[in-house]
Amino acid sequence: MTHLITGGSGFIGNLVARRLSERGEKVRILDIWEDPSRPQDIEFVNCSVLDRDGVRHAMQGVDVVHHNAALVAQTDAGKQYWEVNAEGSRIVAEEAARAGARAIIHTSSTSVFGIPNEAPITEHTPTLPVEPYGRSKLAGEQIVDEICEKNGITLITIRPRATLGAGRLGIFQILFEWIRDNRNVYVIGSGNIGFQFIHAHDLMDFYMLALDAGRNGTYNVGTHDFGTLRGDLERLIDYAERTSKVKSLPEGLTINTLRLLYWLRLSPLVPWHYMTYHKACYFDVQPLLDMGWKPQYSNMRMLKESYDWFLSSERQSAGQSPHRSPLGQKALWLVKKFS
């Protein structure tokens, strides 16, 4: 089969492209930047999802569309979130239908749930996004769902928790750098909340399982083995043999301060970060396990592996991929200096 991966140079899209290529599939990437490490057997099309003619051309002969192109939370994209994440998704889905694609796998986000009142998040948890990024991702889901239903296209929607693994930088770079430098790290509130991640390899294992099953479905994907946010951070510090401590910050004051710094463009933390960091967030993954998925990574194993990779890598910017590039700390460097 022929597969088109939009956003195929980004963190997750790149993993999808390589996994499909390893399976012997014909793979085509559509993105606005080219990863220089892209295997040569993977075709590259330099195109935005907002370029309908370019998307239409890239769809020729495609059986399955993997829609990963998006402006992620930390891009702080404002109105462009809607343009790319909602309207871009419309263009991709409409052109997939026009080309006769049989299936779309759409990578969405935990942000569609906003700040859920209860955990775990299940298939029955309402989607109530609380900031522009989450609202754009939910709109994208709804648009693609409507087009697929109208055209008889199989739709698989994947909502991953924050993804770790070699190559993942972004917001995690700040955490790992502060621990490496023996600086304290901070949680909003007590930090004694269930907090779940997902390793890139486990995510890809489920992704391929869902692809092979070929059934319509929406899947919330996170590790089956995790502890509290405070506990996992403390164990990571112990593993790193550093002197950092996990410090609690008052909820109301901290959130309002981060909100002010955000509006002054003095913080890399966007609303999705500071509005949710103090809330328990984890998925019920029993339905995924019942499908035969066998995740290998606990929170701790993936945090340790990612931290080790951070120490050993050169951490150079990977093109225009926010999740694969270092993140500027802005005013947080001052907090780090005195922590």
Q: Domain segments of the chain: what residues?
A: 2-163+197-221, 166-196+226-281+297-337
What pLDDT, on a 0 to 100 scale, did the predictor assign at position 159? 98
Q: How far apart are CA 74 and CA 274, in angstroms?
A: 11
Whether the CB-CB separation of 1 and 26 falls below 8 Å is answered with yes
Q: What is the pTM of this model?
A: 0.91
What is residue 134's three-state secondary structure?
A: helix
Q: How far apart are CA 302 and CA 299, in angstroms?
A: 5
- Taking the chain, what is the end-to-end CA distance rounded to the nearest angstrom? 53
What pLDDT, on a 0 to 100 scale, did the predictor assign at position 333? 61
Whether the CB-CB separation of 183 and 244 falls below 8 Å is answered with yes
Q: Which residues of the chain, if any, have pLDDT below 70?
A: 314-331, 333-338
What pLDDT, on a 0 to 100 scale, did the predictor assign at position 314? 55
2-163+197-221 CATH fold: Rossmann fold (3.40.50)
What pLDDT, on a 0 to 100 scale, did the predictor assign at position 318? 47
For 137-188, the pLDDT digits (tens) are 999 999 999 999 999 999 999 999 999 988 777 778 889 999 999 999 999 9
Considering only CA atoms, give the Rg of the chain: 20
What is residue 185's three-state secondary structure?
A: strand
Structure tokens at 234: 């403390």
Q: How far apart are CA 149 and CA 146, in angstroms?
A: 5
Sign of the alpha-carbon dihedral angle for 7, 9, 11, 14: positive
Q: How far apart are CA 109 and CA 129, in angstroms?
A: 10
Residue whose structure tokens are 């993993």: 15
CATH architecture, domain defined by 166-196+226-281+297-337 = Alpha-Beta Complex (3.90)
Whether the CB-CB separation of 158 and 314 falls below 8 Å is answered with no
Structure tokens at 87: 């309207």
Structure tokens at 97: 């239908």
What pLDDT, on a 0 to 100 scale, did the predictor assign at position 324? 43
Structure tokens at 83: 């343009």
What pLDDT, on a 0 to 100 scale, did the predictor assign at position 312? 87
Amino acid identity for residue 257 in this structure:
T
Q: How far apart are CA 128 and CA 115, in angstroms?
A: 8
